[in-house]
Amino acid sequence: MGIEVSKKAIEEATHKLSNWGRWGGEDQIGTLNHVTPDMIVAAAKLVKQGKVFGMGIPLDRSGPQNGLFGGRWNPIHTMLATGTDSIAGVFDEHLKIRYADDALHMPVQAATHWDSLGHVFYEDKMYNGYPAKYVDSGGVHKNGIEHTRSKMVGRGVLLDIARFKGVDYLEDGYGIPNDELDACAKAEGVSIGKGDFVIIRTGQMENCLKTGVWGGYAGGDAPGVKFENCYWAQEKQIAAICSDTWGVEVRPNETTEANQPWHWVVIPAMGLTMGEIFYLKELAEDCAQDKVYEFMFTAPPLVITGGTGSPINPQAIK
């Protein structure tokens, strides 16, 4: 499309692509409304081999957070009771059961996760026109992730752009144009339709895991969709877009006027659900082998009241 990205382009897209009111003034889930019951039934029919691919990365201190963005940290896992306690007899007298227990402290977007529609604002508003001030220290009072608790089921499609282009991974800064998404889908023999959960593979994460260096992942440079993708996503009426990068869109940004300009539009104007930091290696290898790039997809969020998102372990079921 050749859009010159700028605040003006953001403003224009915001107006052209707005879904405010499309699903009623009370709506809090945006493009997830595209998914209808018949699509879920159809998605289940894609399960033909009984294979399941978990796409969540491990939640531990070896994760991608390095302080580059928002003060996020890698998951902190602490034990509340242990096997070593148990064999020392700590629980025998009073509790009378030998057990282990633990706790987790993490930013909800530190690893594989959904963004909720309360995650990004445009000026003083968020999706569906709710005031941004409804997101305060008490949480996300509108558009929180809890509203999607039964909504993350449907048809998934993998667009393996790296493989399509014959590389192990796309370079940081490579912006994927819309027509490349279409060409990739065509090459894979799939079409992107209404209500789909689209998963884009850049190979960036696999390269980080292979080299053992997260580097600018998460928070820095990355391959990803170009700003123009907002038009593509709206036209296709997809339910959600996901990728193996920390922010789906290309970095460095296509403009200096805004950070993550695609985010400025797709979350607050369109209400597009976004999945990030997906681990795709095994799924992608399987798709390359059996040439089947569509599957049943389910990625239930934790029901975090007022969450800007949720850590998840998405499942592709073929």
Q: Which residues ranging from 242 to 281 are in contact with its own copies (CB under 8 A)?
A: 257-260, 263-264
- The binding track of 138-167 with respect to its own copies, each residue x by CB under 8 A or -, is xxx-----x--xxx-x--------------
Residue pair 43/297 in contact by the 8 Å Cβ criterion: yes
Separation CA 112–CA 298 (nearest Å)? 14
Separation CA 154–CA 133 (nearest Å)? 32
Residue pair 208/242 in contact by the 8 Å Cβ criterion: no
Minimum Å distance from CB 100 to its own copies?
5
Q: Is 212 in the site for its own copies (CB under 8 A)?
A: no
Q: Is 213 in the site for its own copies (CB under 8 A)?
A: no
Separation CA 128–CA 126 (nearest Å)? 6
The residue range among 127-135, 163-171, 197-205, 210-218 that interacts with its own copies, by the rule CB under 8 A, is 127-135
Binding to its own copies, residues 31-70 (CB under 8 A): 36-41, 43-45, 47-54, 56-61, 67, 70
Q: Is 120 in the site for its own copies (CB under 8 A)?
A: yes
Tokens of 226: 């170009």
> Residues binding its own copies: what is the number (CB under 8 A)?
108
Residue pair 127/143 in contact by the 8 Å Cβ criterion: yes
Contacts of 92 (CB under 8 A, 6+ apart): 98
Using CB under 8 A, which of 133, 189, 210, 213 touches its own copies? 133
Q: Is 132 in the site for its own copies (CB under 8 A)?
A: yes
Using CB under 8 A, which of 30, 64, 118, 216 touches its own copies? 118
Tokens of 185: 């889908």
